[in-house]
């Protein structure tokens, strides 16, 4: 069955979202058209405003609608501690833990030579400039534990060490509440090799 051109266009537009296939997109479209047109109008207004007004923080590069995000503006953050992440979603994840009080640098991706993504594409020049200001005493590398994330962490660690700044990497291994019999071999091997004294 073929939908009207406008319905089909709306379904296609929603498929730009990650994890949304044709069936999920169609369900969303029919929900908005059949049960929640006001919600659809609100979504449209907010989405248009967000896309036109949200840019990047001039300091950490996360998403915000002001020149500097609220974290970089905050006088209570520890400016000697800088956590490097791949995306604004990673900032949110770390902030939700409530355990980190430093600042961030968002790469907006990771190194991937196979995809043509090099150091200049993830803001390395800007990152180096930030480190050369000498306010930062420790950099925590919190890139993802993927091949690309590990390669990015290695590249950054060499740069950071050359500037004589202390560099650390987030730990990885067995999750809280995890049972060893259900942990994959790679994760368990990393946990064993990164063990620490108690």
CA torsion 28-30-34-38 (nearest 10°) is 40
The answer on pLDDT for 192 being more than 90 is no
Nearest C-alpha neighbor of 22 from the set 13, 34, 6, 11: 11
Which residues make up the CATH 1.10.8.420 domain(s) of the chain?
A: 5-53
Which residues make up the CATH 3.40.1360.10 domain(s) of the chain?
A: 77-169
Q: Does the predicted TM-score (pTM) go above 0.75?
A: yes
CATH of range 5-53; options 1.10.8.420, 1.10.1750.10, 3.30.930.10, 3.40.1080.10: 1.10.8.420
Average pLDDT over residues 13-20: 94
* Segment among 17-21, 71-75, 148-152, 185-189 with least mean pLDDT: 185-189
* pLDDT-derived band at 180, boundaries 50, 70, 90: confident
Quote the crossing angle between the two packed helices 37-53 and 22-35, to the nearest 10°.
Answer: 120
Show the tokens assigned to 145.
Answer: 């534990």
Tell me, which fold does domain 77-169 have in CATH?
Dna Topoisomerase Vi A Subunit; Chain: A, domain 2 (3.40.1360)
């Amino acid at each position: 069955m073929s939908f009207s051109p406008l319905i089909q266009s709306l379904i296609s537009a929603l498929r730009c979202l990650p994890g949304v296939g044709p069936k999920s997109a169609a369900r969303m479209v029919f929900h908005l058209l059949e049960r929640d047109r006001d919600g659809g109008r609100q979504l449209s207004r907010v989405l248009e405003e967000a896309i036109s007004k949200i840019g990047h923080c001039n300091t950490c590069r996360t998403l915000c609608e002001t020149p500097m995000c609220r974290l970089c503006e905050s006088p209570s953050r520890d400016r000697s501690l800088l956590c490097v992440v791949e995306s604004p979603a990673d900032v949110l994840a770390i902030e939700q833990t409530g355990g980190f009080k430093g600042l961030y640098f968002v790469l907006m991706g990771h190194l991937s030579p196979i995809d043509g993504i090099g150091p200049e594409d993830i803001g390395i020049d800007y990152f180096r400039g930030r480190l050369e200001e000498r306010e930062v005493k420790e950099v925590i590398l919190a890139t993802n534990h993927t091949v690309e994330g590990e390669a990015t962490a290695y590249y950054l660690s060499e740069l950071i060490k050359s500037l004589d700044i202390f560099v650390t990497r987030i730990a990885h291994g067995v999750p809280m509440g995890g049972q060893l019999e259900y942990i994959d071999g790679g994760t368990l091997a990393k946990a064993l090799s990164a063990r620490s004294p108690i």
